[in-house]
Amino acid sequence: MKKSRLLITMLVMLIAASGHAQDSFREAVKEYMAVTAQEALNNYWNRMDSVLKADNTFLFESGDVDLNQLTERYFKEGVMDYMTDFMCAKMKELGVTEAGLREYMSLMSTPEGQAYKEHLAQWVEAIKRDTTVLNGLDNFDSHKIMAGEYPDPIQVKAGIDPGYVEKYNKVLGGNMAKYMQGLFDQYFNFFTMMFGGMSDEMKDAMSDEMKDMQKRFDGMKNWMTANIPTIALNNAYGIFTEDDLDFHAKTQNLEIHKLMGLLPMNPSDMMSIGQGVMKNYIEWMEDHGAVVKEDMKDFLQDFQLFNRK
């Protein structure tokens, strides 16, 4: 009898310890996201908040709840829970542990880590500005692209220290190029999904206008893919310092480096996240008093965004 009680007690303790470990890991993931991506997430959520507020009257019945207030609450509370769960699953899949997360966050909290984070954000923004300008009609004249004419390849800027170039290539190498390409690919996700999912028969049946659009898209993407490594280097110089390169080198042997496996996200991954957030939003709104309109339920079910009776 005593042995049975002892076994039950031990089992309860093990279950409790397991639950604490999972909660602890989840909190570490939340802290990691706050350190590395909170500003970017906030910007995205703010854009989504505005879009969904405009659609609320189409999705939900006008009842006793304030739909706009609920939407604001969701993007302050609910969506972070959803993304934390998503990242927990991805990190476990990649073999990232709580200890690995906390080691990285400790390193990022140092003055060197703070400077690295600030300069990395500035560098990424500079690349976005550069590629946005290059996407302008002055540089990507549609008629020239249809004829197979593209801007000259980007050259390394004059005045960049050759020693910096050597160190940049040694430290960042293919991983940063892959990361930057992942960021850039997001500009093309819509067209990749639209054209990439088409059968040969569908492509043959496309209108001439659509075929021209695909040709222009392919030309732009191929040109940018070939030139983005140089664009990244040109923008790094003067922003991403040699001290930042040294700091980045320190992170290469950390467990957190496994997260590079998350990038680049393909269109299917991006669609899956977007669909998951939308489904989570609708369910969260219902749990907090909103009611999905009857005539919207079949439509939402067709897109696997609603599966409640």
Number of independent structural domains in the chain:
2
Is the pLDDT reported for residue 274 higher than 70?
A: yes
39 or 10: whose pLDDT is higher? 39
Co-location of 257 and 124 in the same domain: yes
Co-location of 259 and 121 in the same domain: yes
Side-chain half-sphere CA neighbours of 276 within 13 A? 16
- Please state which of the ranges 72-86, 141-155, 192-206, 240-254 shows the lowest mean pLDDT: 192-206
Co-location of 245 and 285 in the same domain: no
Co-location of 256 and 123 in the same domain: yes
Number of other residues whose CB lies within 10 A of the CB of residue 168: 21
- Average pLDDT value for residue range 52-69: 81
Give 140: exposed, middle or buried? Use CB within 10 Å, 0-12, 13-18, 19+: middle
Helix ranges restricted to H, the chain: 2-59, 67-73, 79-94, 98-108, 111-134, 142-146, 162-185, 189-196, 200-205, 208-236, 242-251, 267-287, 294-302
Number of other residues whose CB lies within 10 A of the CB of residue 71: 24
Is the pLDDT reported for residue 164 higher than 90?
A: yes
The model's confidence at residue 114, banded by pLDDT at 50, 70 and 90, is very high
Task: Judge whether 19 and 253 are in contact, CB under 8 Å.
Answer: no
What percent of the chain is predicted at pLDDT more than 90? 14
215 or 265: whose pLDDT is higher? 215
The model's confidence at residue 144, banded by pLDDT at 50, 70 and 90, is low
φ/ψ region of 173 (left if φ > 0, alpha if ψ in -120 to 50, else beta) reads left
Task: Report if pTM > 0.85.
Answer: no
Co-location of 270 and 175 in the same domain: no
The model's confidence at residue 113, banded by pLDDT at 50, 70 and 90, is very high
47 or 182: whose pLDDT is higher? 47
Co-location of 121 and 260 in the same domain: yes
Note the pLDDT of residue 142: 55
245 or 264: whose pLDDT is higher? 245
Co-location of 168 and 153 in the same domain: yes
User: What is the extent of the structural domain holding 294?
Assistant: 1-109+266-309
The model's confidence at residue 72, banded by pLDDT at 50, 70 and 90, is confident
Note the pLDDT of residue 35: 73
Co-location of 88 and 178 in the same domain: no
- Average pLDDT value for residue range 48-71: 80
Is the pLDDT reported for residue 7 higher than 90?
A: no
Co-location of 133 and 217 in the same domain: yes
Per the listing, tokens 């690295």 go with: 116
What is the rounded average pLDDT for all residues in the chain?
75
- Average pLDDT value for residue range 251-266: 69
81/283 Cα distance (integer angstroms) = 13
The model's confidence at residue 19, banded by pLDDT at 50, 70 and 90, is very low
Co-location of 127 and 175 in the same domain: yes
79 or 303: whose pLDDT is higher? 79
Q: Which of the listed ranges 19-28, 56-65, 260-269 does the model predict with the highest average pLDDT? A: 56-65
The pLDDT tens digits of the residues spanning 194-218 come to 555 566 676 666 667 667 777 777 7
Co-location of 209 and 122 in the same domain: yes
- Please state which of the ranges 11-25, 71-85, 102-116 shows the lowest mean pLDDT: 11-25
Is the pLDDT reported for residue 255 higher than 60?
A: yes
Co-location of 237 and 129 in the same domain: yes
240 or 210: whose pLDDT is higher? 240
Note the pLDDT of residue 161: 94
- Please state which of the ranges 41-50, 232-241, 270-279 shows the lowest mean pLDDT: 41-50
